[in-house]
A and B are shown apart, each in its own frame.
Chain A
């Protein structure tokens, strides 16, 4: 008997199909997707190969592979595929599958395989718990502020909120660390840290620049950027309040920050809301990309962002209109949505893709997978 490496075989066809990769067995491995891909053009990788790993159920290889996280979802592969297998969505399904592998708690797995109804129910229950908890703890405080006709962030929220945030981020980082270990982070590095950083940055800028030239991709990139910018701005504003609250009342910063609050909220509402609108629209001018299948985790992820942005926006509006009763209602709703967002979505749902992508890009750059010279 010849000694060959035994690579585990599982039938993961059902899982991948449930996670949205229903075209996976249509793939006959022609390589068109990799050949069209701007990312594959600049790196020594193959998206086709990881699809093959998934087809054959090679769990070991799939677990170790960082390639699905390198995808920037340009969608060129969808039109190039001669079998209409939608490689972009297959890769998304693989990312979801890999997320369930990276997570050690098992909650990610539960989250990804739950139906949309189950997800919504869970969110509602968690929101209800946090709203009931908020009211139970701070009802009198809020009534107090209302009677004084002022609106302030409830200070007692901080000792509860910070641990929740730390817990959430901690879980996220722990999963990130597991991923780093699975993909063999720290091994086979041939490029220095700074070189790798430079390469990733320049490669990312170059490929996104090229994509920006195409009108429909430009719009999608901008939508994504809006969400990203909105979240970063939101975090910055929240941190600022924690660290240096006087900034919010001193002139002229208070005006800048007020505008920033609106900007952040609007970014989130528009960036996350547009895909919903386009999906439901019957206008023929909508690009076909918006009509493609998206997994329930994607919709829920977007939905969270939209709801957080909307409640935040309305809260600010009613605040500046001095109708504090409604502001507080929105405030409670806002926190009620942020809580399940932090508990579920950030460590286990769609939102952790930024961490996994960063790790994957870093490791692949240090491994020298980014082509140094332009391929001629």
Chain B
């Protein structure tokens, strides 16, 4: 650059977040002593309109051409401050942030030391700022298509909203049918079941031409950048085609029987089966993991709907954005936890919902162990809140409401059955408190525990031993059946998803959102969105809402037809490049190729694919590969500034 850098430094108090540990005034004064710093200010909330106005005014007043903002993490407000300086006429990339909150005031308690460190960080930022260059964002055409991964209620709602808005949607579902777990959820309200909700959504999908549904399909590869992703899906064969009329003759002939996961193991199904009443697409499917290819079904089918020779198909889809709505798994108690698996009358809440559902294995009759229980107990927080060694450390949010809904249902249908609910806290928040009121009116009995109850299988049946803490007594409750209200855990295959899409997850295993309060449906990776229980336990309404919200974010990203990418790509100094090809092999995104320039073979970076990871420029032995905004000189100066006071 030809012009002399004129740096403005702006220190934020962040309320008391920074100011409590760092003497911001002292840092501001110190900044004034640094070379090329023209002005230095501090303010309580630099990201607010007032703070931003201050920055803009100072730029105009003092002809500043480089800005340093010492505040929170750039991941929070770098875009804010970039937009602010852009509106003042500066190139938005002439900003450098010093993180004196997460890296300083939040990490240290010694005020003097923290202040000194803050000064160091500001000095480093100024050193880099002096060497910043103006850059331009790269614009790409955006594909007006979205890929929704997961055909549960969240995914379906997102697909419908996007399709109605005008986008094309690929809805990819791993299992043979749409509907997810909500289709198996029983009663939600007195007259509505999960299956009814799913029905409504499936009808809307079936009649919308903008949505293309792929069931029995998995995502196997995912690459690209926002607006221009390439997704490879493998559509596994169902071996049954649309000539199927659901007559069921094939099923009758099939010799293989396995536990039916669509009834949570309460009944059995054949290798060729139809998942449930409202399943979509409405045709049978063969579970290829257990099918022995005997051919009996083919013989039985009168409509020529079965073809055992179908092969999987690989499809490449070009999409602008991805919505991950793959849902959750119910917590499966290990054998012996609350005696689960040791007695047939101990079931999970999910299994109970199947029993009460009129489309369930008992047509809605509460028959457990062959009879209607005279006394049934629900144990809450199974698998959640650290109750047992195998439990997770979070609350699964939906189990209290679900349990009370089912308890009320049982009392309504079987008034002489005694219902107990063993709980730690009853989390019927918001308007759901009315369920707690109703449960009382229906004579449901509540037992509060702190230490988890112990289930004994005695000669006379099941006995639950628990310390009821509001009466401070150890009591033993003889029951006929126990329902374990299990929580939600991340899906077993979420690790595959993480490695394919490179999204991240939290310590509990659920996918992490960009910001818990402000961006709960966006992944930190641009262009990828998260909807429903994949980010954490939610009930059906909350999942559906998150589906719509993620659709909204996709619409915001793609509606302009163009997508902008940050310009921090790698750039080759072609004169210095020796064509050694080390960078080509090392690039994780396959963005570098070799091309001929003036008779020599040199590296070339495809900007569209470059993610700005910096691996190539770090590896380049000749220093020919540099990265915009992280050039060698910039980093060296910053490092020297770090150690030299």
Contacts and interface: CB of A to CB of B under 8 A. Distances in A.
A27 B437 CA distance: 9
Interface in A1-57: 1-2, 4-7, 9, 11, 13, 25-29, 48-49, 52-53, 55-57
B445 A55 contact: yes
B465 A4 contact: yes
Nearest to A53: B471
Interface in B465-497: 465, 468, 470-471, 473-478
Contacts of B447: 56
B458 interface: yes
Contacts of A4: 465, 474-476
Contacts of B436: 28
Contact of A6 (B437, B443, B445, B476): B476
Interface residues of A, number: 24
B440 interface: yes
Interface in B414-456: 418, 426, 436-437, 440-448, 454, 456
B443 A13 contact: yes
A28 B437 CA distance: 9
Interface string B586-617: 00000000000000000000000000000000
A68 B436 CA distance: 26
A224 interface: no
Contacts of A279: none
A23 to B, nearest CB: 9
Given A7-B476, A9-B477, A25 B465 contact: no
A9 B441 CA distance: 20
Contacts of B445: 25, 55-57
Contacts, number: 58
Nearest to A16: B443
A90 to B, nearest CB: 12
Interface string B345-360: 0000000000000000
Nearest to A31: B470
Given A7-B476, A56-B445, A1 B458 contact: yes
A26 B441 contact: yes
Nearest to A7: B475
A29 B454 contact: no
B477 to A, nearest CB: 6
A7 B447 CA distance: 14
Interface in B128-155: none
A9 B440 contact: no
B320 to A, nearest CB: 50
A49 B465 CA distance: 19
A102 B473 CA distance: 24
Interface in A49-93: 49, 52-53, 55-58, 61, 83
B476 A29 contact: no
Interface residues of B, number: 26
A234 to B, nearest CB: 43
A4 B474 CA distance: 7
- Which one of B440, B458, B465, B474 has the highest number of Cβ atoms from chain A below 10 Å of its Cβ? B440
Contacts of A7: 473, 475-476
Contact of B471 (A6, A13, A28, A52): A52
A49 B470 CA distance: 7
Contact of B465 (A2, A58, A61): A2
B454 A2 contact: yes
B476 A52 contact: no
A19 B391 CA distance: 44
B465 A56 contact: no
B444 to A, nearest CB: 7
Contacts of A61: 471, 473
Contacts of B473: 7, 58, 61
B440 A29 contact: no
B461 to A, nearest CB: 13
- Which one of B442, B475, B477, B478 has the highest number of Cβ atoms from chain A below 10 Å of its Cβ? B475
A4 B426 CA distance: 26
Contact of B468 (A1, A2, A5, A56): A56
A26 B444 CA distance: 10
A61 B473 CA distance: 10
Contact of B475 (A2, A25, A55, A58): A58
A5 B474 contact: yes
Contacts of A52: 468, 470-471
B639 to A, nearest CB: 61
Nearest to B467: A4
A44 to B, nearest CB: 13
B437 A1 contact: no
B454 A25 contact: no
Given A13-B443, A56-B447, A29 B470 contact: yes
A188 to B, nearest CB: 16
Contact of B440 (A11, A27, A53, A57): A27
A49 B476 contact: no
- Which one of A13, A29, A53, A55 has the highest number of Cβ atoms from chain B below 10 Å of its Cβ? A55
Contacts of B477: 9
Nearest to B477: A9
B458 A26 contact: no
Contacts of B471: 49, 52-53, 58, 61
Contacts of A9: 475, 477-478
A53 B426 CA distance: 19
Contacts of A29: 446, 448, 470
Given A2-B454, A11-B418, A56-B445, A26 B465 contact: no
Contacts of B454: 2
A28 B446 CA distance: 8
A49 B474 CA distance: 14
A4 B451 CA distance: 15
A1 B440 contact: no
B248 to A, nearest CB: 44
Contacts of B456: 1-2
Contacts of A26: 437, 440-441
Contact of A25 (B441, B474, B476, B478): B441
A16 to B, nearest CB: 10
Contact of A56 (B426, B437, B441, B475): B475
Contacts of A83: 437, 440
Nearest to A13: B443
Contacts of B446: 28-29, 55
B444 A25 contact: yes
Contacts of A25: 440-445
A27 B440 CA distance: 7
A11 B456 CA distance: 21
A59 to B, nearest CB: 12
A353 B284 CA distance: 72
Contacts of B478: 9
Given A4-B476, A7-B475, A7-B476, A28 B440 contact: yes
A319 to B, nearest CB: 55
Interface string B58-81: 000000000000000000000000
B482 to A, nearest CB: 15
A88 to B, nearest CB: 18
A9 B426 CA distance: 23
Nearest to B426: A28
Contacts of B444: 25
Contacts of A5: 474, 476
Contacts of B440: 25-28, 83
A39 to B, nearest CB: 19
A350 to B, nearest CB: 26
Contacts of B426: 28
Interface of B: 418, 426, 436-437, 440-448, 454, 456, 458, 465, 468, 470-471, 473-478
11 contacts: A2-B456, A2-B465, A9-B475, A25-B441, A25-B443, A27-B440, A28-B446, A56-B445, A57-B445, A58-B475, A61-B471
Sorted from nearest, which 6 A-B pairs have the closest CB atoms?
A25-B440, A26-B440, A4-B474, A25-B443, A13-B443, A6-B476
Given A56-B475, A83-B440, 6 more contacts: A4-B476, A25-B442, A28-B436, A28-B446, A56-B468, A57-B445
